[in-house]
Structure 1
């Protein structure tokens, strides 16, 4: 585990080598979900790196994991700032050029914003359970998890504390902004037509935070999009359907490299 300074903040970063590296394959950069971190991914990034033959980078965004905790509330454009400012700086600090971005939930939205707005070359984008526009089902679920977190009998806070040095900062920083009255107008569809690299978009049919409209929207407005719709799958396809996700990711990367 290493740390780099991005926008004046200490950011936790892990670099993973593939067990069977392939020359010329791009680095995969993993962007975690709204309550995620380096540790929350567990061994999934290493599984991808080994299966595909790519090196991987996993990092905890500001306010998560062992990165610096939040010192002030986020605003509704926090994912824009991450995709257009923090992520480019991080990639430069790590000397990563033309990566594949692999984002989950909030991380998927950040990857799409970067791909469509940062004007930097990418080999590809993989998004799981992305937020492109705000749906009522998402806000309802975020309200519900706040009640769960606030109830000590559920032990949610205790479980999350294993993955975040400052668990209250991580949870409140995420939950508060998602329940901000201005957030329902948040929308990143304008970035989709400008994405000029292949996209693999993955969505579970039973996702409590979003419907198939999210990835269908990507398919309608971006150029080169492959969809993976998974039955009996919730908000974390890599946990609910790991074999299917790994197979799809491997095929997607192979297509990128051979194109």
Structure 2
């Protein structure tokens, strides 16, 4: 993975002398703009940082080739935030990697709290079947279609949007899909006991990609996990229900980060 860089930038200043530094990590084939709506609704005390990760829209395709561990990029992104990260917020594929990174024996740094959005998690290896792989192969482009629909400033023809989603899928490629699915397959072996920090799992009840049952299973397995399910919401709660999402994060951070100046 040498030669692939992670870019982290502050996208929202805090209106507070003791800000809570939140680092938000996008999912597969996305960008830091994924968090724009959340930034508009976040509590005044939140200083929002976003990352452009190798598996994002602007990343080099070589990130997915064999060699190295993508979870290392979670630590690399955290290291770029001056003063450290109070709250790490990670969506979808990045949520998988964030959990792996923070459960490692000696992570370089830990946030005060973690928010995993639309996480993928299964508690038992027996929960995976051949049909599981077939399902995720068949709907892989659909998540990009949904992302395009939400990000578009004007309605896109469904056929054009479908073709655009296929182009995104093809850019991610088979190796990118394998990286995602390999991380998902490892989720039953996550050392949940090592994740002894406050964790909020946020999921949409209508998510077709990361089932809300995954978020519930994860929250139940974590020592200090809690669950927030949003109604009429799919795979992108921070874009589909930004006010409700921001309120849930605000309440969680207020209770979990003792020095939080989020009011």
Shorter chain as normaliser: what TM range?
A: 0.7 to 0.9
2:12 matched residue in structure 1:
17
Q: Which runs of 5+ in 2 are unaligned?
A: 146-156
1:107 matched residue in structure 2:
94
Once residues 142 and 17 of structure 1 are traced to their aligned partners in structure 2, the CA distance between those partners, rounded to angstroms, is 36
SS in 2 for 1:66: coil
1:70 matched residue in structure 2:
61
After TM superposition, give the deviation of residue 71 of structure 1 in Å.
3.0
1:246 aligns with 2:237: no
After TM superposition, give the deviation of residue 30 of structure 1 in Å.
0.6
SS in 2 for 1:186: helix
The structure-2 alpha-carbon separation of the partners of 1:58 and 1:235, relative to structure 1 and needing over 3 Å to count, comes to same
Matches within 5 A, 1:171-186: 171-172=169-170, 174=172, 176-177=174-175, 179-180=177-178, 183=181, 186=185
SS in 2 for 1:183: helix
2:46 matched residue in structure 1:
54
Which ranges of 4 or more aligned residues in structure 1 deviate by more than 6 Å? 147-150
Q: TM-score, normalised by structure 1?
A: 0.75
Q: Which runs of 5+ in 1 are unaligned?
A: 1-5, 161-166
2:113 matched residue in structure 1:
124
After TM superposition, give the deviation of residue 157 of structure 1 in Å.
7.1
Deviates more, 1:58-67 or 1:103-112: 58-67
After TM superposition, give the deviation of residue 183 of structure 1 in Å.
3.4
1:91 matched residue in structure 2:
78
After TM superposition, give the deviation of residue 113 of structure 1 in Å.
1.6
Deviates more, 1:109-118 or 1:184-193: 184-193
2:148 matched residue in structure 1:
none
Once residues 143 and 160 of structure 2 are traced to their aligned partners in structure 1, the CA distance between those partners, rounded to angstroms, is 8
Deviates more, 1:215-224 or 1:113-122: 113-122
